[in-house]
A and B are shown apart, each in its own frame.
Chain A
């Protein structure tokens, strides 16, 4: 199955997180990421997909193969209409959690990606973008 250029997956249940991981892996194989980079971006996607589900109450993941003329990469945008994050700098801190997890998902995802962007405000949902280049 050739991975499409861009694909939007719904995240509504924990099965969907597995699907996100599989599609991200397919996309990263297609752009030729090495095994370590594949594992990194898949793991980051797994963290963010779970955040989308657990904290955002479900949302979408848009997986896209990107190309800047020479280099290729994978970009994933997670969006939800959940309660949002009141203070992003606190949320990005290692070990900070409001849900009983390890508190490393968001900060870990940033360390596992080449590009990371988060936008959120209370009541307006959350949008997180990560990308990994070859």
Chain B
């Protein structure tokens, strides 16, 4: 029954293709009118035509399993479309509607088929509906996976973004920290700093926390551990960028950072330069300018 249903469906797609396509175009146009601007109706219809063509040739193999080899070209096409939609910011519903909106035109075509026995009609409809469902679900899966790829890429971007160790001067490194500091990411950031201290034979490392919104006991503990580790490696740490509200909060929390700290990165750099025996002097006769970051 399965095979005959599939053949019936393939025959129908062959015979009534023009009509199904016309109906489907109307459906697609209607769906697209609700969310204008992202993809043109012509483009949708062109994609629809291609899908229908591949669906017919796949179904005429007699195979009704959308995950089988016969459907691989169709799946590739749908995957490509779905991925593009995920990146363009389509909603899952909009993406799935593209495939599911084929149902009505196909059902209508079956209904108006002459001389179809109820059994044959039922078999054909069953195949059509399972196939379209299968393809729709496949579209969603690709969509979901693509969205996850976007998220993973962004996560990677964020973690790279926030871990640069900057060399400010010979022997002076700066680590500008940004964002949440209580994740495993912190571990990576701190290890980066310690490795950079070795690589640059740094004497002073400035940890700037201007971009850290919350300093709680765990963050403080991470900072203290890093400072202690750096000290064992022969480098002194200066913490800069503790904002007034964070300073007050830390005092209430009872956290003591037994580390030299400065309000701004500029002050910290000035102190670092002084420690390594450098001075910033103005090129006369210009007015004196303090080192600024």
Contact residues of A with B, CB < 8 Å? 14, 17-18, 21, 25, 35-36, 38-40, 42-43, 46-47, 50, 94, 101-102, 104-105, 107-108, 111-112
Closest residue of chain A to B179, judged by CB? A18
Contact status A43-B183, CB under 8 Å? no
Determine how close the nearest CB of chain B comes to the CB of A131; give it in whole angstroms.
15
Report A-chain residues with C-beta under 8 Å of the C-beta of B244.
36
Q: How far is the CA of A101 from the CA of B218 in the complex (A)?
A: 7
The one of B182, B245, B246, B254 that contacts A111, using a Cβ cutoff of 8 Å: B254
For the complex, give the distance between the alpha carbons of A108 and B251 in Å: 9
Q: How far is the CA of A14 from the CA of B182 in the complex (A)?
A: 8
- A38: which B residues are within 8 A, CB to CB? 245
> Could you say which residues of chain A place their CB within 8 Å of the CB of B220?
102
CA of A107 to CA of B214, assembled, Å: 17
User: Quick one: given A40-B252, A111-B252, A111-B254, are A46 and B214 in contact (CB under 8 Å)?
Assistant: yes
A107–B252 CA distance with the chains assembled, in angstroms: 9
The prevalent SS among residues of A at the interface is helix
Given A112-B249, A112-B253, A43-B182 contact (CB < 8 Å): no
Using CB atoms, name the residue of chain A closest to B251: A111
**Residue with the greatest number of chain B CB neighbours at <10 A, chosen from A14, A43, A102, A107:** A43
Chain B: CB-nearest residue to A94: B254
A70 to B244, CA, bound (A): 28
Q: Judge whether B245 and A108 touch: CB under 8 Å.
A: no
In chain A, what residue has the closest Cβ to B253? A108
CB distance from A106 to the nearest CB of B (A): 10
Contact partners of B221 in chain A: CB under 8 A: 101-102
A46 to B217, CA, bound (A): 9
B217 and A17 within 8 A (CB) = no
Bound: A101/B224 CA distance, A? 12
Q: Which of B245, B248, B255 has the most CB of A within 10 A?
A: B245
In the complex, the answer to whether B254 meets A36 with C-beta atoms within 8 Å is no
Question: B154 at the A/B interface (Cβ < 8 Å)?
Answer: no
Q: Which of A46, A50, A107 contacts B254 (CB 8 A)?
A: A107
B215 in the interface (beta carbon within 8 A)? yes
Given contacts A46-B214, A102-B217, 18 further A-B contacts (CB under 8 A): A21-B213, A21-B214, A36-B248, A38-B245, A39-B245, A40-B248, A40-B252, A47-B217, A94-B254, A102-B220, A104-B217, A104-B254, A105-B216, A105-B217, A108-B254, A108-B255, A111-B254, A112-B249
Q: Among the listed B183, B213, B252, which residue makes an inter-chain contact with A112, where contact means beta carbons less than 8 Å apart?
A: B252
Residue ID in chain B nearest A107 by CB atoms: B254
Q: How far is the CB of B236 from chain A (nearest CB, A)?
A: 22
Is B180 interfacial (CB 8 A cutoff)? yes
- A-chain residues with CB within 8 Å of residue B249 when the two chains form the complex: 36, 39-40, 43, 112
Question: Of all chain B residues, which has the CB nearest A110?
Answer: B252
Which chain B residue has the least Cβ–Cβ distance from A46? B216
Smallest beta-carbon distance B275→chain A, Å: 28
Could you tell me the distance between the alpha carbons of A42 and B212 in the complex, rounded to whole angstroms?
Answer: 13
Distance to closest chain A CB from B245 (angstroms): 4
